Amino acid sequence: MQISVYVSATLRTFVNRKAKIEIEGNNVRKILERLQDEYPESKALFEEDGTLKPFVSVYLNEERVSEQSETSVQEGDQILLLPAIAGGAPAESVISDERRKQVALDDSEIERFNKHLMLREIGVKGQKRIKAAKVLIIGLGSLGSPVVQYLAAAGVGTIGIADFDEVSLGNLQSQVIHGTRDVHRPKIASARDSIKAINPKIKIETHNEKLEVDNIADIIEDYDIIVDCTDNYKSRYLINDACVLLEKPVVFGAMYQFEGQVSVFDAKSGPCFRCQFPAPPPSGLVPTCAEGGVISPLPGIIGSIQANEVLKLIIGGGESLAGKMLVVDTWNNHSSVLRIHKNDNCPICGKNPSITEIETFDYEDFCGLKQEENELLVEAIEAEELAARIEKGDPLTIVDVREPHERAIQRFPNAIVIPIGQLARRQKELDPDVDTIFICREGKRSILAINTLREAGYKGPMYSLKGGIESAKNIIFSNEGAWL
């Protein structure tokens, strides 16, 4: 029997870039075994004992199942492989009646929010709750943009914004709260202007600092809801853990290329981010949004759904995405709401948590970001030195491990192209008597490539281009992208 296996965008590089695969089999375990036979690169997603690595989960018809499941599958069933990119009962409002009664709506607000007041589900009570609410948006990039806009337009009384970055030209394709004249301004300043332009009555609190273990609790403490609009695993785990400990709901959004995820993590009543994704993928294995790209309206779609979830938590009603994850694939117009479950062994929200304070947890190490370790393990070459060696005509092999769309933007001449997943079996193409230089966008995936080859037994000298193509741009390429 042929079963459709849907593969989430970030994992498609392991299955020849296919979104949907038909695989013969009558239970989940057999289908996943056959997947590894037919797509050998997908073996990277599995441990040696055949279990999936912790950053991947498998769903059968929208319920999470074990990869070893012998449950038989029927004609028309769907299997979904979902990575960390990363309830249901009508909820009570997060705003107490006492706080609601402390706010009043003036005439201009009654006119401004007329279309909310018309809705039976919101009405005056709901609008007062929205005005009384304090919401923190972490990350003012592409997801943060629509969240800021809609929460400001909806009348959230206090909006906190946290970001320490500046606006760049490349941000403007999807970060719609920033404009051309904001380039090089702090995102926080530009976001504040946008909120004021929408509604000058909103109280804005700015947090222009990087979130770390020693400041996050102070930053989030005063808010009712935290909206995670960040783009890296370290921030996501840090936000999750702090919010579990301080009992704050997190409205989570993530995306990659054409696909997005939204969920509400509230450990008081349901699963947290760690329950769903116990560990991040190894650094460099799954491309980030910056490396993978994103279609312009996608953050608008995902961020708007996040803003909608925030409003439902404030109003108190509707079906929230707590205990569920909405997955939207805008390229194939495929979307589903998956159930996610609390993990009793979760290290932060489980029955016997091992993380009881965030100060003692090493987030850098957990997310594989420890630079020193990588530097010890892998030798790097500076772009200047590589350029000089190429010019001298030194014998060396350059291996480009980037994705095809990245190479299309800037080709690295004279490089052979080997995806990381194929390195082990194609190591014969490398000459162990000659230096091999690995290049990627930022210098992270090339380190992973070298470690992969070492594990596969390759003995030749290997170097990572330090900082990747990004750091070599002005040295190896002229402005037009031409070679030297």
Active site residues: 289, 440
By CB under 5 A, which span of 25-33, 204-212, 318-326, 346-354 interacts with Zn ion? 346-354
Does 272 engage in binding with Zn ion (CB under 5 A)? yes
Among 95, 349, 401, 437, binds Zn ion (CB under 5 A): 349
Minimum distance between the CB of residue 342 and Zn ion, rounded to whole angstroms?
A: 6
Query: Which CB, 29 or 64, lies closer to Zn ion?
Result: 64
Binding string to Zn ion for residues 229 to 268, with x set by CB under 5 A, is what? ----------------------------------------
Torsion of Cα atoms, 452 then 456 then 460 then 466, to 10°:
0
Give the list of residues 6+ apart from residue 434 with CB closer than 8 angstroms, or none: 395, 396, 397, 460, 461
462-465: strand order across its sheet: 379-381, 462-465, 435-439, 396-400, 415-417
Contact 156, 147 (CB under 8 A): no
Q: Please give the residue whose beta carbon sits closest to Zn ion in the complex.
A: 346
Tokens of 221: 């403490």
Classify residue 266 by burial, with Cβ atoms within 10 Å: 0-12, 13-18, 19+: buried
Dihedrals φ, ψ of 311, to 5°?
-65, -40
Does 325 engage in binding with Zn ion (CB under 5 A)? no
Rg of the chain taking only CA atoms, in angstroms: 24
Measured CA to CA, the distance from residue 239 to residue 233 in angstroms comes to 10
Among 130, 133, 305, 346, binds Zn ion (CB under 5 A): 346
Does 275 engage in binding with Zn ion (CB under 5 A)? yes
Helix (H, G, I), strand (E, B) or coil at 424: coil
Binding string to Zn ion for residues 427 to 456, with x set by CB under 5 A, is what? ------------------------------
Query: Which CB, 161 or 272, lies closer to Zn ion?
Result: 272
Query: Which CB, 131 or 274, lies closer to Zn ion?
Result: 274
User: How big is the chain, counted in residues?
Assistant: 484
Query: Which CB, 330 or 343, lies closer to Zn ion?
Result: 343
Query: Which CB, 274 or 324, lies closer to Zn ion?
Result: 274
Minimum distance between the CB of residue 402 and Zn ion, rounded to whole angstroms?
A: 35
Minimum distance between the CB of residue 347 and Zn ion, rounded to whole angstroms?
A: 8
**Interface positions with Zn ion (CB under 5 A):** 272, 274-275, 346, 349
